[in-house]
Amino acid sequence: MKNICVYCGSSSGKGEAYLSAADALAQALVERDLGLVYGGASIGVMGELARAVMQRGGEVIGIMPEALMRREIGCDHLTELQVVESMHERKAAMAAQSDGFIALPGGMGTLEELFEILTWGQLGFHNKPVGLLNVEGYFDHLIRFLEHAVTQGLLRQQHRELLRAAQDPDVLLDNFLKEPAPLLDIWIEKQDQL
Ligand code: AMP
């Protein structure tokens, strides 16, 4: 495992907890010699994470669509800043250059990125691990919702299990390193498999 992609907020959130979590994740990545791949912004949890990895001597690849370079303010002093044409290209480039995916707290953009990579795993397009860093229970409702989707027969338990969660970045990364994700069969034939 060489690089971990982290999806996270372009805002900082209330209080210090989310920024501190970015810092702790940065430490855990650098200690394991794992590079960071992220969206390239200098703002919010995203910027904090990138700066924290760089300050510790780690490697950071930022990937930013041209149209967002101003709004999200491309982060200077990264190991590499890749400027791409579109959001789709950004997400594909982030996925291609990463060996695992973590979501820190964030908003719609973070959730969209997280669910896209989970969906690709569910369809058997990759078998890279995906996990939440559940800082102070930020994702509790989301986890509960996914359990609800399983009980309602709209999400397979096997697919639900593609999303790991931990409160501690060391626990999550050690889990990634020890337990490879399954490569799932692309389909889904019988209703009774739910
Ligand atoms: P947010 O979690 O909404 O603060 O956004 C985090 C990151 O996701 C930012 O870099 C956004 O540019 C990105 N983002 C926002 N909306 C989308 C979207 N629809 N698809 C992909 N990425 C997005």
- Considering the domain boundaries, does residue 188 fall inside one? no
Q: What is the pLDDT of residues 149-192, one digit of tens each?
A: 999 999 999 999 999 999 999 999 999 999 988 888 765 554 44
- Considering the domain boundaries, does residue 186 fall inside one? no
Hey, which of 71, 87, 101, 116 would you mutate to test ligand 1's pocket, going by the most ligand atoms within 8 Å of its Cβ?
87
For ligand 1, say whether the CB of 107 is within 6 Å of any of its atoms: yes
Domain range for 61 = 3-176
- Considering the domain boundaries, does residue 194 fall inside one? no
**What is the pTM (predicted TM-score) of this model?**
0.93
- Please tell me the number of Cα atoms within 13 Å of 173 on its side-chain side: 22
For ligand 1, say whether the CB of 100 is within 6 Å of any of its atoms: no
| CATH code assigned at 30 | 3.40.50.450
- Considering the domain boundaries, does residue 181 fall inside one? no
> Is-contact 90 84, C-beta < 8 A?
yes
- Considering the domain boundaries, does residue 73 fall inside one? yes
Query: Closest Cα to atom 17, ligand 1: which residue?
Result: 109
Structural domains counted in the chain:
1
Interatomic CA distance for residues 44 and 42, integer angstroms: 7
- Considering the domain boundaries, does residue 78 fall inside one? yes
For ligand 1, say whether the CB of 72 is within 6 Å of any of its atoms: yes
Q: What is the pLDDT of residues 21-77, one digit of tens each?
A: 999 999 999 999 999 999 999 999 999 999 999 999 999 999 999 988 877 787 788
Interatomic CA distance for residues 185 and 163, integer angstroms: 17
Query: Closest Cα to atom 13, ligand 1: which residue?
Result: 109
- Considering the domain boundaries, does residue 155 fall inside one? yes
How far is ligand 1, taken at its centre, from the CA of residue 138, in Å? 18
For ligand 1, say whether the CB of 109 is within 6 Å of any of its atoms: yes
Interatomic CA distance for residues 127 and 183, integer angstroms: 5
- Considering the domain boundaries, does residue 193 fall inside one? no
